């Protein structure tokens, strides 16, 4: 019996170790990202880095402001397209879809989530960029809008699946009450169901937002990678992530340029961490509210 307990304790110890793995890995990532990145600030001040308008590695000038603005514009553009579409689709699946349509749309969404981002990128490079150029009379179709469109498609599955869970868990009584007062389907959906599910929907949108900020491969192929400060969705731009991908291949290891690219990585890393914690808070609160 003693032996058995011993074995159990050993296994228990190993499993405890495993269970902290996620935490340990997160810590190692933080250490290495900051170790390489913060070296830049021996040379460039934080303000110059965050608000500088020029990025000229050959002269060791590292101002990331245009990248930050591009990232924000691309993400807003993507949300503008995917939020209405995603919520409608989630409502459709839960509230009005006949069974056959649901069996068709659900796997489609799963597949959309599974397609590798490089394939989205190649598709967007060849189709979306060309489709945009002519109607908007642009000099080039490689714009922030092109990146927003492809990102919108990529984050739709996240927004739909989380909103759908949330709408699904709105208690039946709410709907029955609304119908009992003579409301139509649409009145019930827009006045009762969606407002009650709003926490989960917001959590889904926040997660989608995080994904959009961090996406690289699809964006780098279509955004044009222009270091000038973008002023509209129809300008070309360069996001934080696309700058890293574009320049890391040729940056000399250990150089200031290399450090600066790690610094570019720290920004989306921190933003996404905050967003992820925010959304998990919203989701847990929602669950406890309905229970």
Partner 1 sequence: MSKIIWLRILFLLCVIALFSGCVEDNKEEGLVIAGSTTVQPIVVKAVEVYGKNNPDLRIGVQGGGSGTGIRMVGKGSVDIGASSRELSTEEHLKNPGLVTHSIAIDCLIITLHPTNPIEDLSTQQITDIFAGKITNFKEVGGPDRRIVLVIREDGSGTRSTFENMVMNNTEVSDTALQKPANGAIRFTIAGNENTIGYLGIGYIDDTVKAISINGIPPSKENIRKGEYLLSRELYLVTDGEPTGETKKFIEFILSDEGQILVEEEGFISMR
Partner 2 sequence: MIHPNTSDKIAKIWLWLSALSIILVLLSILGYVFIMGAGSLSVSFILDMPTNNWREGGILPAIIGSLLVVIIALSFATPIGVGAAIYLTEFTKEGRLTKTVRIAADSLNAIPSIVFGLFGLAFFVFYLKDYTGGPSLLSAGLTLGFMILPTIIRTSDVAMRTVSFSEKMESYGLGATKLQTIKNIVLPEAFPGIITGIILGMGRAIGETAPIIFMVSLNPVIPKTIFGSGNTLTTQLYYLAMEGISMDVAFGTALTLITIILILNYSARKMNNYFSRNLRR
Strands (E), the chain: 55-56, 61-62
Q: Cα–Cα distance between 30 and 38 in angstroms, integer? A: 11
105 binds, among partner 2, partner 1, none (CB under 5 to 8 A by kind): partner 2
Q: Cα–Cα distance between 174 and 64 in angstroms, integer? A: 49
Site for partner 2 in 95-114 (CB under 8 A): 95-97, 101, 104-105, 107-112, 114
Q: Cα–Cα distance between 34 and 76 in angstroms, integer? A: 27
Closest C-alpha among 159, 184, 180 to residue 95: 184
- Judge whether 148 and 77 are in contact, CB under 8 Å: yes
67 binds, among partner 2, partner 1, none (CB under 5 to 8 A by kind): none
Contact between 272 and partner 2 per CB under 8 A: yes
Q: Cα–Cα distance between 200 and 206 in angstroms, integer? A: 10
Nearest distance from C-beta of residue 267 to partner 2, angstroms: 10
Tokens 């969404």 sit on residue: 109
Contact between 85 and partner 2 per CB under 8 A: yes
Contact between 138 and partner 2 per CB under 8 A: no
User: Which long-range CB contacts under 8 A does 114-120 form with residues at least 24 apart?
Assistant: 116/217, 117/154, 117/215, 117/216, 117/217, 117/218, 118/217, 118/218, 120/150, 120/153, 120/154, 120/217, 120/218
257 binds, among partner 1, partner 2, none (CB under 5 to 8 A by kind): partner 1
Site for partner 1 in 216-235 (CB under 8 A): 220, 224-228
The single residue among 6, 32, 231, 232 that binds partner 2, judged by CB under 8 A, is: 32
238 binds, among partner 2, partner 1, none (CB under 5 to 8 A by kind): partner 1
Q: Which two tokens stand for residue 94?
A: 């839960």
Contact between 4 and partner 2 per CB under 8 A: yes
Site for partner 1 in 256-285 (CB under 8 A): 257
55 or 120: CB nearest partner 2:
120
Site for partner 1 in 44-63 (CB under 8 A): 54-58
Nearest distance from C-beta of residue 182 to partner 1, angstroms: 52
The single residue among 66, 200, 208, 210 that binds partner 2, judged by CB under 8 A, is: 210
Closest C-alpha among 186, 5, 156 to residue 90: 156
Q: 238: helix, coil or strand?
A: coil
232 binds, among partner 2, partner 1, none (CB under 5 to 8 A by kind): none
Contact between 224 and partner 2 per CB under 8 A: no
Q: Cα–Cα distance between 50 and 48 in angstroms, integer? A: 6
Binding residues (CB under 8 A) for partner 1: these are: 54-58, 125, 129-130, 133, 139-142, 220, 224-228, 236, 238, 245-247, 249-253, 255, 257
């Amino acid at each position: 019996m003693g032996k058995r307990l011993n074995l159990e304790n050993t296994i228990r110890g190993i499993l405890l170790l495993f269970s902290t793995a996620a935490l340990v890995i997160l810590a190692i990532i933080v250490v290495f990202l900051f170790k390489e990145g913060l070296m830049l600030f021996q040379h460039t001040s934080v303000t110059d880095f965050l608000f500088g308008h020029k990025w000229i590695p050959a002269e060791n000038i590292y101002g990331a402001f245009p990248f930050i603005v591009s990232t924000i514009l691309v993400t807003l553009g993507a949300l503008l397209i995917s939020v209405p579409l995603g919520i409608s689709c989630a409502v459709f699946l839960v509230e009005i879809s006949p069974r056959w349509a649901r069996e068709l749309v659900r796997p489609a969404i799963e597949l959309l989530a599974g397609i590798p981002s490089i394939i989205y990128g190649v598709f967007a490079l060849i189709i979306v960029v060309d489709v945009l150029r002519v109607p908007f009379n642009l000099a080039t179709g490689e714009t922030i809008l092109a990146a927003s469109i492809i990102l919108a498609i990529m984050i739709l599955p996240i927004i739909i699946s989380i909103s759908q869970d949330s709408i699904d868990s709105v208690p039946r009584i709410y709907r029955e009450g609304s119908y009992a007062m003579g409301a139509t389907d649409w009145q019930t959906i827009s006045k009762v169901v969606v407002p009650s599910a709003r926490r989960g929907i917001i959590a889904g949108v926040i997660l989608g937002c995080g994904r959009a900020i961090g996406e690289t491969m699809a964006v780098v192929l279509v955004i044009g990678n222009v270091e000038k400060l973008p002023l509209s969705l129809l300008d070309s731009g360069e996001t934080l992530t696309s700058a890293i991908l574009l320049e890391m291949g040729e940056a000399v290891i250990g150089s200031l340029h290399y450090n600066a690219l790690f610094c570019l990585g720290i920004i989306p890393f921190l933003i996404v961490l905050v967003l992820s914690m925010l959304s998990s808070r919203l989701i847990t609160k929602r669950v406890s509210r309905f229970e």
